[in-house]
Copies of this chain bind each other. A is one copy, B any other.
């Protein structure tokens, strides 16, 4: 905890302190950007910065890490406001298929490394990269260090439901999770949901199996009791099931990285399959084809509605790092920058810190799940 930082940092300062200072001074917030990451690199990311700066408040500056000639050429091409952009030269780029271990060995001096290092050095309040996820996780962990006892940063998915988005974590980073980690996911996910989606008091649920007589693992039952009885500042609503994710029963759904990764991919697969089958049904036979043509615009709207948000945070680090999806276009990357600013300006880190200081007492109070008859 004591090591967590967010906002525009000074070395050694806590996230809460940085946030307080930012709020008082209304001072410049710098967002650090890996200008070379993703499938398209600078040709998409520089235009994205220009789009983002049009709506961002004037105290926000962008720090672009990448090949200087290339970045400056792109800036000239799209008439970037030079007074709001700092270019930080980086000689190399981490490949989209490089292994994390390889990225760690030869990562120094790359655009991704520089983008993350700027957070540690207190030069930027948040970093955004569309590069290789595994490399970004490994580099962020090495440079910023974890603020929590996790194997690696927790990965968040934002899942659409009828009236908003569900924050779902961990979706793949931490495969083995005890009760304490699950509660940490709840604390981080809740603060992230508020900062990213503007929900004042997000509701939180813990993913479990349905039937009464076989309620979950010991870890899940213990986490449930800590969340229910531990006097954390969370609106915890209890167990939820797999289909509650797309129902939007709660704002934040918490699970371990094994279950979360599988459930996320299973949902994506099911959504793709249903869409493909429905499209096939709509376009088979002459009458159906006419129907599909007429409904074409609706189908496009639907596709837009279903596409996931462009950015996902890596949670549990001493600093804010956002992963933008590799194929993101300029509009999507611009939205990711906006999310980074929202996080940097929010009470995100302080809120997490406040609940985390209560966690040891909550764990001690509730004790191990095995001693509890009423699971």
Cβ contact within 8 Å between A285 and B258: no
Cβ contact within 8 Å between A244 and B269: yes
Encode A102-139 as 1/0 by CB contact (under 8 A) with B: 00000000000000000000000000000000100000
User: A299 an interface residue at 8 Å Cβ cutoff?
Assistant: yes
Q: Is the interface of A mostly helix, strand, loop or mixed?
A: helix
Instruction: Pick the residue among B209, B245, B271 that contacts A175 (CB under 8 A).
Output: B209
Instruction: Pick the residue among B242, B267, B273, B285 that contacts A261 (CB under 8 A).
Output: B242
Task: Tell me the A170-207 residues at the B interface (CB within 8 Å).
Answer: 172-173, 175-176, 207
Residues of B within 8 A of A298 (CB): 281-282, 284-285, 288, 291
Cβ contact within 8 Å between B175 and A216: yes
User: A374 an interface residue at 8 Å Cβ cutoff?
Assistant: no
Chain A interface category by residue count = 35 or more
Name the residue on B nearest A268 (C-beta). Answer: B243
Q: What is the minimal beta-carbon distance from A115 to any residue of chain B, in angstroms? A: 21
Cβ contact within 8 Å between A266 and B243: yes
Residues of B within 8 A of A134 (CB): 211, 213
- Determine how many copies of this chain the complex contains: 2
Task: Tell me the A203-229 residues at the B interface (CB within 8 Å).
Answer: 207-214, 216-217
Name the residue on B nearest A276 (C-beta). Answer: B162
Task: Tell me the A282-317 residues at the B interface (CB within 8 Å).
Answer: 282, 284-285, 287-288, 290-299, 301-302, 305-306
Cβ contact within 8 Å between A271 and B270: yes
Name the residue on B nearest A161 (C-beta). Answer: B273
Count chain B CB atoms within 10 A of each CB in A266, A282, A287, A292 and give the residue with the most. Answer: A266
* Cα separation A75 to B287 with both chains bound (whole Å): 43
Q: What is the minimal beta-carbon distance from A174 to any residue of chain B, in angstroms? A: 8
Residues of B within 8 A of A324 (CB): none
Cβ contact within 8 Å between B271 and A274: yes
Residues of B within 8 A of A287 (CB): 294-295, 297
Q: What is the minimal beta-carbon distance from A208 to any residue of chain B, in angstroms? A: 8
* 6 closest residue pairs by CB, A with B: A242-B265, A243-B269, A291-B295, A291-B294, A242-B266, A281-B298
